[in-house]
Amino acid sequence: MFGRPCYSFSLGGGLWMGERIIEKIMNGVSVDHIPLGMVWKVAQILHVEGCGERVSLADGCNSVKMPEGKGVLKIENIFPSDGELDLISLVAPHASVSVIRNGLVESKRRVEVPSVLNGLVACANGNCISQDDHESVVSKIYYVDGKFRCHYCGHFFGNGEAEV
């Protein structure tokens, strides 16, 4: 029924190597321009573990836009939901997501961090009411000018501190 999942890793490889390892897919999702080291995080957001689909991922590919290297991820027969795209935007703010159907790119878009995040990110302030296990407060975080701000305690924090 399902083929064995295939994980392709290209660590520190060039674009040529990455292109070679990352195979074309007929149906599914392709995520490009993932920051170095974040490709597995994106894969987890898309629930690749145990999905039974063919997964190709590469990290450290050459990129003009991302000189430190980029990650690329392709998964067959998985199509991300809007909520998953929001989560991807938090770990890979410049990622471009292509949906492929019947071998053709059906849509390609850049992820965008939503202006309000409900229950997606935890406040970085450990004393915040939204972090209190005794309170059933769902986190509510605003994203303004590249920074997060908590609705409850007003704490500002950066992308690196956000726990997705």
Q: How far is the CB of 145 from Zn ion (least distance, A)?
A: 18
Region of 16-24, 43-51, 114-122, 148-156 interacting with Zn ion (CB under 5 A): 148-156
Between 22 and 121, name the residue whose CB sits nearer to Zn ion: 121
Give the x/- contact pattern for Zn ion in 96-135, rule: CB under 5 A.
Answer: ---------------------------x-x--x-------
Q: How far is the CB of 93 from Zn ion (least distance, A)?
A: 21
Radius of gyration from C-alpha coordinates of the chain: 17
142/6 Cα distance (integer angstroms): 38
Between 55 and 124, name the residue whose CB sits nearer to Zn ion: 124
Q: How far is the CB of 109 from Zn ion (least distance, A)?
A: 31
Q: How far is the CB of 41 from Zn ion (least distance, A)?
A: 23
Encode burial over 79-109: b for 16+ CB neighbours within 10 A, e otherwise.
ebeeebbbbbbbbbeebebbbbeeeeeeeee
- Interface with Zn ion (CB under 5 A): 123, 125, 128, 150, 152-153, 155
